[in-house]
Amino acid sequence: MTASPASPAETDWLHLDRQICFSLHAASRAFNGVYRVILKDLGLTYPQYLVMLVLWEQGDLPVKKLGEHLRLDSGTLSPLVKRLEGAGLVRRERSAQDERSVRVMLTEEGDALRERALQVPRRIMRATGFDLGEIADLRERLDQLTTALDAAALAEAEREAG
Amino acid sequence: MTASPASPAETDWLHLDRQICFSLHAASRAFNGVYRVILKDLGLTYPQYLVMLVLWEQGDLPVKKLGEHLRLDSGTLSPLVKRLEGAGLVRRERSAQDERSVRVMLTEEGDALRERALQVPRRIMRATGFDLGEIADLRERLDQLTTALDAAALAEAEREAG
DNA sequence: CACAATTCAGTTGCGCACAACTAAATGGGT
DNA sequence: ACCCATTTAGTTGTGCGCAACTGAATTGTG
């Protein structure tokens, strides 16, 4: 078999793919792991923390809007919000104007948790070992990747349907 | 509380954190989504594909070694491998030398699937819109991140225990 | 040799992600 | 006014990830 330095041989693509998807998969889980440890103090999981961050920043929101901010659907959010409600951090209230809509509102306790959460981001930053610039750069790449991937997934899905 | 213009005010950290963890979370799910669509042809999920990639590359392996390659424990791997076995892609065989160990081996069908999987990496590459160099660069950053995060999670866990 | 500690696979329980579905409320078109 | 498509939450089922545990086999130590 001859060497092909320009583009990898057919077979090597799988090896490459293994490296790439493993890296992202592992990074995501590692991130999740650090958040899990740090958030244990607050009694939150990582996705629950994401929901709380949105509520602290945006104020009360209907489930639908929450889902748009986080790209999560009701299948994920409904039980998650229910657990936050069980923890006393959040109330749910069906809208009077539109009875389909359910507004998720911070309780006093949920609002108070924000103070304790203020320490989280710096502990995460320290854990990454990255500075602000590196994080911003990584974030930009990831967002770029996400945009491209979402578009591609849509195209693939349509290729199948249409 | 005095203002500190050099670094963001206490409150802004949460906003920043929201952006960062959302970006990684979203990228991971977007990646997963593209793989899901593309792998549907092969009848594999994304983590199942990862396992198959390792087996195609390394040959038969005990569950333990599989877990080391993928950083997954038996709680995740046992049922996953069982499903691969159910799909006829893999056999499990308890080692004669060490009866604790279970060897995961490709069936003929599992080995044959490799041919059809060869098309996957390039479809993924196309979906990302990145070239080889950009992907390699991103991969390097992610690995760097994972290493730092794993070390930090360990340190946090030890801080708690000790 | 005997006994304790360790290793390995598997199970259970919980939470998340997502597809597919249900049910109720709303809004538009005729 | 009526019907129908759409919107919004929620439920169900499947699979992954991880912690905590069980049970069997192996290894190390006295």
Q: What is the pLDDT of residue A36?
A: 92
- Asked if B31's CB is within 8 angstroms of A149's CB, the reply is yes
Specify the nucleotide whose C1' lies closest to residue A63 (CA): D9
Rounded to whole angstroms, how far apart are CA atoms B87 and A153?
Answer: 25
Spatial separation of the C-alpha atoms in residues B162 and B145, rounded to whole Å: 25
The conformation of residue A97, written as its DSSP 8-state character, comes to S
Number of H helices, E strands in chain B: 7, 3
- C1' of C13 to CA of B99 (Å): 28
Is the Cβ atom of A68 within 7 Å of strand D at any atom? no
Could you read off the pLDDT of A7-57 as tens digits, one per residue?
Answer: 566 667 888 777 888 888 888 888 889 999 999 999 999 999 999 999 999
pLDDT tens-digit map of B52-102? 999 999 999 999 999 999 999 999 999 999 999 999 999 999 999 999 999
Amino acid sitting at position A150: D
Q: Which nucleotides of C are covered by protein (CB under 7 A)?
A: 7-13, 15-20, 24-27
| Contact status of A6 with chain B (Cβ, < 8 Å) | no
Contact A17 B127 (CB under 8 A): no
B130–A153 CB contact, under 8 Å: no
A23: nearest CB among B53, B121, B143: B143
| pLDDT tens-digit series, residues A73-130 | 999 999 999 999 999 999 999 999 999 999 999 999 999 999 999 999 888 888 888 8
Residue among A15, A139, A149 minimizing CB distance to B127: A149
Q: Is B93 helix (H, G, I), strand (E, B) or coil?
A: strand
Taking an 8 Å cut-off on Cβ atoms, the answer to whether A153 and B14 are in contact is no
Q: How far apart are CA B42 and CA B56, in angstroms?
A: 15
Which residues sit opposite B90 in a β-bridge? Answer: B106
| Per-residue pLDDT tens digits for B111-147 | 999 999 999 988 888 888 888 888 888 888 888 888 8
What is the pLDDT, as a whole number, of residue B118? 92
Give the burial string for B110-132 (b: 16+ CB within 10 Å, else e): beebbeebeebbebbbebbebee
CA-to-C1' distance for A126 and D14, Å?
37
Max avg pLDDT among A116-120, A153-157, B21-25: A116-120
Q: Is the pLDDT of residue A162 over 80?
A: no
Which of these, B152, A47, A140, lies nearest to A132 by C-alpha position? Answer: A140
Q: Is the CB of B33 under 7 A from strand C?
A: yes
Helix or strand or coil: residue B137?
A: helix
Q: What is the pLDDT of residue A4?
A: 43
For an interface test with A, which of B20, B55, B58, B123 has the most A Cβ atoms less than 10 Å from its Cβ? B20
Say whether pLDDT at A1 is over 60: no
Whether the CB of B116 is less than 7 Å away from nucleic strand C comes out as no
Give the distance from CA A27 to its chain's centroid. Answer: 13
- Cα distance between residue B125 and residue B118, in whole Å: 13
- Contact of A9 with chain B, judged by CB distance below 8 Å, is answered with no
**Beta strand pairing call for A102-106 and A90-94:** antiparallel
| Closest partner CB to A53 (pick from B11, B18, B27) | B18
B74-113 residues touching A, CB cutoff 8 A: none
Cβ of A63 near strand D (under 7 Å)? The reply is yes
Distance from C-alpha of B145 to C-alpha of A28, rounded to nearest angstrom: 10
Strand D at less than 7 A from CB of A29: yes
pLDDT higher at A65 or B149: A65
For A71-81, write each residue's pLDDT tens digit. Answer: 999 999 999 99
CB contact under 8 A, B149 and A34: yes
